């Protein structure tokens, strides 16, 4: 009886056809449509261009919330000032694993402050930008001198 109730509810929603056929392909398609819809909603929020979440965890278990936000595509700043060093190391190791799993990035900003970003957001230090810019100027000068001969 319970299975019958669930089957009728699925039919009403449109997940299962009335003939009782398995629509695994349609279920996968539905989940991909819902995922695309969530991503589109996130892109269409005009008031929030980018959200960075700052955490000051007090217990190791906060690593689950931090990793969840990172997996959702939000950059996260973690300040470990309230944790003892052993728990702080464990927490950072856990979040580093999450960042690695999603091809994200990590940078140590201060003694106890870390920045984690998803794959879509790169972290570049100002020193790297300066040296990169100098290389472009040098190559441009070489090009100009080559054409002036």
Residue among 88, 44, 87, 42 nearest 69 (CA): 42
Burial of residue 67 (CB within 10 Å: 0-12, 13-18, 19+) is buried
Report the chain's C-alpha Rg in angstroms.
24
Which structural domains are found in the chain, ordered by start?
2-43 (no CATH), 50-149 (3.30.110.150)
pLDDT of residue 14: 67
pLDDT of residue 125: 79
pLDDT values of the chain reduced to their tens digit, one per residue, 149 residues: 666 766 777 776 767 655 444 444 545 566 666 666 666 666 665 555 678 889 999 999 999 999 999 998 899 999 999 999 999 999 999 999 999 999 999 999 999 999 999 998 888 877 766 655 555 554 544 444 444 44
- Whole-angstrom CA distances from 9 to 25, 72, 110, 143 are 19, 30, 54, 70
Q: Which residues pair with 105 in a beta bridge?
A: 117
């Amino acid at each position: 009886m319970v299975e019958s109730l669930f089957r009728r509810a699925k039919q009403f929603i449109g997940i299962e056809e009335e003939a009782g056929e398995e629509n695994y392909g349609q279920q996968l398609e539905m989940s991909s449509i819902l995922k695309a819809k969530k991503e589109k909603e996130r892109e269409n929020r005009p008031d929030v261009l980018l959200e960075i979440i700052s955490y000051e965890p007090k217990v190791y278990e906060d690593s689950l919330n931090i990793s969840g936000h990172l997996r959702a595509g939000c950059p996260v700043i973690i300040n470990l000032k309230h944790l003892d060093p052993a728990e702080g190391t464990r927490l950072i190791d856990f979040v580093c694993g999450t960042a690695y799993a999603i091809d994200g990035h990590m940078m140590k900003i201060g003694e106890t402050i870390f920045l984690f970003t998803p794959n879509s957001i790169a972290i570049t230090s100002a020193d790297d930008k300066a040296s990169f810019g100098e290389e472009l100027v040098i190559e441009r000068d070489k090009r100009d001198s080559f054409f002036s001969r």
